[in-house]
Amino acid sequence: MRILLAGGGTGGHIFPLVAVARQLYIESEKEKKSPPDIVFVGPADKSGGQILKGNKIRTRRITTGKWRRYFSILNIFDLFKILIGLTQTFIYLWWYMPDIVFSKGGYGSFPVIIIARIFRIPIVIHESDSIIGATNRMLTRFAEYVIVSFPTEFPELPAQKTLLMGNPVRDLTVANKEFARSQLGIQSTRPVILFLGGSQGALQINTLVLSALKELTDVYEIIHQTGDKHYKTVIKYAEEKLPKTNIAGYHVFASLNEVEMKNSFTTADIIVSRSGAGAIFEIAQLGKPSILIPLEGSAGGHQEENARIYQEVGACIILSRSNVKPHILLDQISSILNSENKREQMSRAALGFAKPDAAKDIAKLLLQYGK
């Protein structure tokens, strides 16, 4: 069976696609079928390309352009990129002719969905966020099914082809917490706070951590994922400003590979993160209490809405523009860690929100289209 994956090239799209691909191999083996031939078509940055390759997913990069919903001279240049991408995709799909296309959305998926529709190839689209993205909103009319992650209303989508399955995530569980702590160099018995900025890093979260770094490392062990472009600045600040006695409790990573991510998630007592769908569903999978800081100006305000829905079930605390202050962060961390009852309630709510079978359910749906 030939399965084509499409989407943007950053972690928010790549990791869910990888989770589904892994499950496709597992389900095929269970059904005693030949392993599916899986290829990703779209843009992919260097790290995204390496992740795909490491999971037996061939990659065909295409030129992609983004159409902005406001006047910009860049739209003229990107129009030519879109046309080039459509041509490249037409040639590749004519040669490869997959049995089905699974798309995570984003402007990188636009050429694939359009050409797949021309060839009458079945299409399944996945929407990670609580507010449907612009590309998905435009292209869902061509899909056999639209899978959504959040239990909310999507008035743009026809009910008869909308399926609530959750966001597919990698399995980040580690059986031995003490081993995970040792792998990260954590030797004290202090609570561990994990700060995540996503694959691109988050300047706001990095600034917040540095503003409260001494107070944080006085009491807690800190794992801080900064993003590549902020890593050197963060390290320099810590070396200059942080007392030497606190350095051992501050563990800084530009990015976290999958093993480091597993160890960090397992070790963390609280996770502080943006509120992209991938982050929320990974946090929920492990039942971790969390403090979410939505990205201001995210497309359609989806991060604010994601966080609001997650907060409604009692799984997180939200820090928004008005209360992203170091002393408020410290107070919220303390309020969670000092109340066993609160931690347990947040953990139960997170686990109840999680969709641990999302990747498996999606894989089973895709395999139904095998010839």
The per-residue pLDDT for range 257-273, each reduced to its tens digit, is 899 999 999 999 999 99
Q: Which long-range contacts (CB under 8 A, 24 or more apart) does 73-77 make?
A: none
Residues 118 and 56 in one domain: yes
For 9, 135, 138, 228, 236, the CA distances from 18, given in Å and listed in that order, are: 12, 21, 24, 22, 34
pTM score, two decimals? 0.92
The CATH code of the domain that includes 333 is: 3.40.50.2000
Q: Which domain holds residue 45?
A: 2-167+356-367
Residues 337 and 361 in one domain: no
Residues 199 and 344 in one domain: yes
The two tokens of residue 227 are: 């993003």
Band (185; pLDDT cuts 50, 70, 90)? very high
What confidence score (pLDDT) does residue 184 get? 94
Residues 187 and 140 in one domain: no
What confidence score (pLDDT) does residue 201 get? 65
Residue 148 lies in a domain: yes
The two tokens of residue 355 are: 């969709």
221-225/192-195 β-pairing = parallel
The per-residue pLDDT for range 301-353, each reduced to its tens digit, is 889 999 999 999 999 999 987 788 999 999 999 999 999 999 999 999 999 99
Q: What value does the mean pLDDT of the chain take?
A: 91
Band (161; pLDDT cuts 50, 70, 90)? very high
| pLDDT, average across residues 280-300 | 90
The two tokens of residue 198 are: 């996503």
Residue 18 lies in a domain: yes
Is residue 291 pLDDT above 90, yes or no? yes
| pLDDT, average across residues 350-370 | 94
Residues 126 and 270 in one domain: no
Is residue 229 pLDDT above 90, yes or no? no
Band (73; pLDDT cuts 50, 70, 90)? low
Is residue 76 pLDDT above 70, yes or no? no
The per-residue pLDDT for range 237-262, each reduced to its tens digit, is 999 999 999 999 999 999 898 999 99
DSSP string covering 314-329: TSEEE--GGG--HHHH
Query: What whole-number distance in Å separates Cα of residue 253 and Cα of residue 250?
Result: 10
Residues 275 and 130 in one domain: no
Residue 363 lies in a domain: yes
Residues 338 and 190 in one domain: yes
pLDDT more than 70, % of the chain: 94
| pLDDT, average across residues 16-38 | 93
Among the listed residues 73, 74, 101, 106, the one whose alpha carbon sits nearest the alpha carbon of residue 89: 101
Residue 172 lies in a domain: no
Residues 91 and 47 in one domain: yes
What confidence score (pLDDT) does residue 72 get? 64
Residues 84 and 141 in one domain: yes
- Per the CB < 8 A criterion, the answer to whether 29 and 35 are in contact is yes
Residues 157 and 210 in one domain: no
Residues 115 and 186 in one domain: no
The per-residue pLDDT for range 203-225, each reduced to its tens digit, is 889 999 999 999 999 999 999 99
Residues 340 and 360 in one domain: no
- Domains held by the chain: number: 2
Residue 41 lies in a domain: yes
Residue 73 lies in a domain: yes
Band (276; pLDDT cuts 50, 70, 90)? very high
